[in-house]
Structures are given as C-alpha cells and as structure tokens.
Amino acid sequence: MSDMSRIKTFNLPDLGEGLTEGEILAWLVKVGDTIELNQPIVEVETAKAAVEIPAKWAGQVQAIHHPEGTTVEVGTPIIAIDTDPGAGPLETPSTTATPTGDLPTPSAASLAAVELAPAEGMIEPGLIGGAAPGGRTAVLVGYGPRTTAAKRRPRKGAVPTQAEAPVAPAPVTPAPVTPQPVGNGNGGPVTGGLVLAKPPVRKLAKDLGVDLSTLTGSGPLGSITREDVQRAVNSPVVVAEPLAATTAPSFGADREQRIPVKGVRKLTAENMSRSAFTAPHVTEFLTVDVTRAMKALDRLRGRREWREVRVSPLLLVAKAVLLAVRRHPMVNSTWAGDEIVVKEYVNLGIAAATERGLIVPNVKDAGRLSLRELADALTDLVQTAKSGRTSPAAMSGGTLTITNVGVFGVDTGTPILPPGESAILAFGAVREMPWVHKGKVKVRQVTTLGLSFDHRIIDGELGSKFLRDVGDFLADPEAALLAWT
C-alpha cells in the first residue's frame, strides 16, 4: 500500500444540531498509539455537551494537529492515522529547521500522502452509531470539509513549543515498556482506564443503568463486583453540583477572577436570556402532603420485580406530570408566532447540574412508557449526565421539563422555561413537617411544587388545574391512577 493511501486525515465531524465548532478537551490517544476502529480518540466540548469522538479507521496515530484547549471548526483536520502501519516505515519528509526554531516544512510527497475524510453524504457504512470499545456508542453525524483555520484559546502561562506542531514523526521502533501499576484507592492496580468486570457483572450494570466507569472496584486488581453495582443502585441519586460552586476561586492581583463564558454555560445563558425576555412567565406554587406517595415508593421497592430498580420520588413526580398532561394537553405545546403547536408526544426533560453547567436531557416519548420503563429511562439519563456523556441529541426536542431542586435541600423556585416549551415544574425537598391530617396536627412528609408557564399559551385556570392534578397524584397515587386511567 502506498503512503498516499495509508495516511488518512480525520476532520472534526459535524456533531449535529447546527454546531459549527468544538473545543478539544482531551486527547485520549497520543502519537505512536495503535488504535482500533471506533475507539474513542478525543473528547470535544460543544455548546451542548462534551462528546467522545471515535476513530473512523484502525491504525497508528501519526500526528495530532491541535493541542488540548484549541477551539476547532467543523471540517478542520485534527489527527492523521496510518491505516497500514505493518507495511513498513513511511517515507521520511525532508525538513529544514531555521536557526530561529521555525517548524520543519513538509515535502510535497508527504503532503500528497494525506487523504482527507469523506465529504458529507459519503460516510462509510457500519461506523455511525456502531458500538465502540467499552460499550460506548459512536456519535459521529457527518463530515463537512472546511479549510478555515482553528482558533486556540490561550492557556495561562502556556508557551508555544515546537512539540505542539502537527508534524508526523519519523518512524521509530518503540522499546518494550513494563507498565507500572497505579493504585485504585483500594490497594489494587488499575488498568489504564479499562474497567475490570466479569460479563455477568457488566450485564447486571447494563440492566440497572449503572455506568461501570464511575465505580471504584472492591474485587481483585480493582475489578467491579456485583456488590459494587448493587451498592451504586442503592445509593441516592444526586446530580453533581456545578464545578464553579465547588472549586476554590483563583484570584489575581486585582482580587478578581475572570471565567470565560463558553460551551454549555454560554448556550445556557443565551437560552435563558431569550426565554426570560420572550415568554411572559407566570409561576404558581402548591404545597402537598406526599406521605402516601413515599409509602407507595417503599412498597414498590419491596416488590421482587422492582428490587433491582432505582426508585426515587422523581419517578412519581414524572408519572404525575405525564398523567396530568393527558388531562390538559395544551400544557405540552409550543408558541410558534401565528399558531400554537400542541404535541401528542411528551419528551420529558430533566434539568441536571453538571461540572460544565446546566443541561436538560429528555426522555423521548415518555408518555408511552410503563412505570418500570420510565424508571429505567430516568436512571440512564441521570447516570449519563453525571458521567458527562450526554449527547446533543439527548438534549434536543424537549417538550416539558422537571427540575429537581429538592436534591440541593431547596423547597422550591421560579424556574425559567427552556426555549420552545410552555411549562416547567420545580420539585422541592421532601421534609417532615407538622400538617393537619384528619383533624389533627401530625408529622407528615411534605413538599412544595413550583410551576412556571408561558402565559401566552397557558392561562391561570389551565396552569392551576394542571398543578392541582400533579399535586393530587402525589398526595394519593393509587386513588389518582384508579380515577384517571
């Protein structure tokens, strides 16, 4: 095979939703590494999510064109791969370095050996959406070649060096290296990012919606055991707090810190500003005795077929919202200027605070799911958000949202509508409080709901009836199911 056909340059793909650029967060490979087809090679942050991009070819990494921290436009070459490294050494380009340290100039032969990734519409079969190593899914959408230059975000104290240039190195024979074990926190070594778990444990984790990469193994050599998976399932579901709230600020000489607004945070700011100043918001509140709902959850957890399912109060709130939408379809609609679009399907959004900012992934067509299917979908959504693997597609097309502010110990709030939606429900903390029950003051479990809605679509009567129905379900789930279904 000739050098021309061996070396292929991989362009930053179009990750969907009209995104035009992405920041390279981390390279998962380095020059000289042997990679497999669909192996994740780079983590890129777009305006919607951080996404791992898989390799389009198997082979050996010859050059990385942009370092971490670079903002690259879609279609820009980011990595070169030798697709047949076993065919022998590549032709070494003649290079000349000037005394001032200029970068070597590739020869015409080496430039001709670079083969660009296929253009849009020419994606090779079997790659997009295919399974990647470790059970991950390839997320490439398309390849739009572009000749624009990349923009690099300067890093504090960084000095450009010749090593950062995208120049293919001369082939060398690597010396055998004995890997040094690294502690995993339990006294056992880890395996360079690989998750050690037996097939039955992997199947159990998949069935329960547990991401093995987020667990610390207690078995031999740090392997994940069934007990580790079960422990993760039984732990409370709490979405990670934003990084800005937990990281100590770094102040300069002027005692001020300047944080670049980019990625997810930038998109969130734009969406919230547009929504707040476009849709006339109204917020109503309702305090509900949810003691019966909490007892119903306990009974559900005790059933044999539900013992391995993550069951939380959010599950009942989601079910209450979906049933209330059936009774009041106008709540699940969009303002489209000269018309209101009412949607039969419900893509139920769950607001999640992550290290990169607020995201709102949604459960597609949630109204068609059984309670068990809804529980599994919510577990998968939360686990994916916590691990930072939520895809742009998972955050698109939402029709109605729940924000679970109760996990932070907050009673309720006045949430802002996601653009294109007409209602969002804030679910507050469930607390033991004195409550008048059957004519006597007793300690009951109580929560407060806050419903914000677009007053162009939902008037006070409709918003109040919808919120009342959600509250009625949470006050007595069994009676509401008998009455409404």
Give the residue, 344 or 129, on which the prediction is more confident.
344
Residue whose structure tokens are 């709902």: 293
Inform me whether the pLDDT recorded for 20 exceeds 90. Answer: no
Give the residue, 154 or 117, on which the prediction is more confident.
154
Inform me whether the pLDDT recorded for 108 exceeds 60. Answer: no
224 DSSP 8-state letter? B
Mean pLDDT over 259-272 rounds to 72
CB contact at 8 A, 51 and 362: no
Mean pLDDT over 127-133 rounds to 39
Instruction: Classify 30 as helix, strand or coil.
Output: coil
The lowest-confidence range among 14-18, 191-195, 305-309, 325-329 is 191-195
Instruction: Classify 485 as helix, strand or coil.
Output: coil
Mean pLDDT over 52-61 rounds to 89
Phi-psi region of 338 (alpha: psi -120 to 50; beta: other; left: phi over 0): alpha
Compute φ and ψ for 375, nearest 5 degrees.
Answer: -60, -45
Inform me whether the pLDDT recorded for 391 exceeds 70. Answer: yes
CA R_g for the chain: 26
| C-alpha pair distances (Å), 112 with each of 7, 38, 108 | 10, 26, 6
Q: How high is the pLDDT of residue 383?
A: 87
Q: How high is the pLDDT of residue 48?
A: 59
Inform me whether the pLDDT recorded for 393 exceeds 90. Answer: no
Mean pLDDT over 425-444 rounds to 95
CB contact at 8 A, 29 and 66: no
Phi-psi region of 157 (alpha: psi -120 to 50; beta: other; left: phi over 0): left
Cα 417 from Cα 424, distance rounded (Å) = 6
Cα 38 from Cα 125, distance rounded (Å) = 12
Give the residue, 232 or 133, on which the prediction is more confident.
232
For the question of whether the overall pTM of this predicted structure is more than 0.75, the answer is no
What DSSP element (H or E) covers 226?
Answer: helix 226-234
DSSP 154-206: PPTT----GGGS--PPPP--PPP--PPPEE-SSSSEEBTTBPPB-HHHHHHHH
Residues involved in catalysis = 455
Give the residue, 298 or 258, on which the prediction is more confident.
298
pLDDT in tens, 283-298: 999 999 999 999 999 9
Cα 264 from Cα 117, distance rounded (Å) = 28
Report the length, in residues, of the chain.
485
DSSP 253-296: TTS-------HHHHHHHHHHHHHHTTS-EEEEEEEEE-HHHHHH
Cα 393 from Cα 139, distance rounded (Å) = 10
CB contact at 8 A, 69 and 152: yes
Of 223, 291, 241, 279, give the one whose Cα is nearest residue 431.
Answer: 291
Mean pLDDT over 376-403 rounds to 88
pLDDT in tens, 436-458: 999 999 999 999 999 999 999 99
The full 3-state SS of 351-383, as one line of letters, equals EEEECCEEECCEECCHHHCCHHHHHHHHHHHHH
The lowest-confidence range among 133-147, 330-344, 376-390, 413-427 is 133-147
The pLDDT confidence band at residue 279, using thresholds 50, 70 and 90, is confident
Average pLDDT of the residues of the chain: 76
Helix axes 477-484, 313-327, angle to 10 degrees: 30
Q: How high is the pLDDT of residue 21?
A: 79
Cα 291 from Cα 62, distance rounded (Å) = 62
What DSSP element (H or E) covers 446?
Answer: strand 440-454
CB contact at 8 A, 446 and 288: yes
Cα 464 from Cα 314, distance rounded (Å) = 21
Q: How high is the pLDDT of residue 263?
A: 67
Inform me whether the pLDDT recorded for 190 exceeds 60. Answer: no
| Cα dihedral 141/143/146/149 (nearest 10) | 60
- DSSP bridge pairs for 70: 152
Cα 228 from Cα 146, distance rounded (Å) = 47
Q: Quick one: tokens of 374?
A: 């809804």
pLDDT in tens, 161-187: 444 444 444 444 444 443 334 344 333
Give the residue, 372 or 5, on which the prediction is more confident.
372
The pLDDT confidence band at residue 467, using thresholds 50, 70 and 90, is very high
DSSP 306-347: GTTS---HHHHHHHHHHHHHHH-GGGSEEE-SSSEEE-SS--
Which span out of 179-183, 342-346, 386-390 was modeled with the highest average pLDDT? 342-346
CB contact at 8 A, 12 and 75: yes
The pLDDT confidence band at residue 199, using thresholds 50, 70 and 90, is low
Inform me whether the pLDDT recorded for 117 exceeds 70. Answer: no
Cα 362 from Cα 373, distance rounded (Å) = 14
Mean pLDDT over 219-228 rounds to 73
Q: How many CA atoms lie within 13 A of 406 on its CB side?
A: 20
Q: How high is the pLDDT of residue 381?
A: 92
Which residues, in sequence order, are CB contacts of 483 under 8 Å at separation 6+?
none
**Amino acid, res. 419:** P
Inform me whether the pLDDT recorded for 254 exceeds 80. Answer: yes
Give the residue, 424 or 262, on which the prediction is more confident.
424
Q: How high is the pLDDT of residue 350?
A: 94
CB contact at 8 A, 289 and 435: yes
Of 393, 437, 400, give the one whose Cα is nearest residue 19.
Answer: 393
Q: How high is the pLDDT of residue 104?
A: 45
Report H helices in 32-133: 108-112
Inform me whether the pLDDT recorded for 79 exceeds 70. Answer: yes
Give the residue, 401 or 102, on which the prediction is more confident.
401
Mean pLDDT over 220-236 rounds to 67
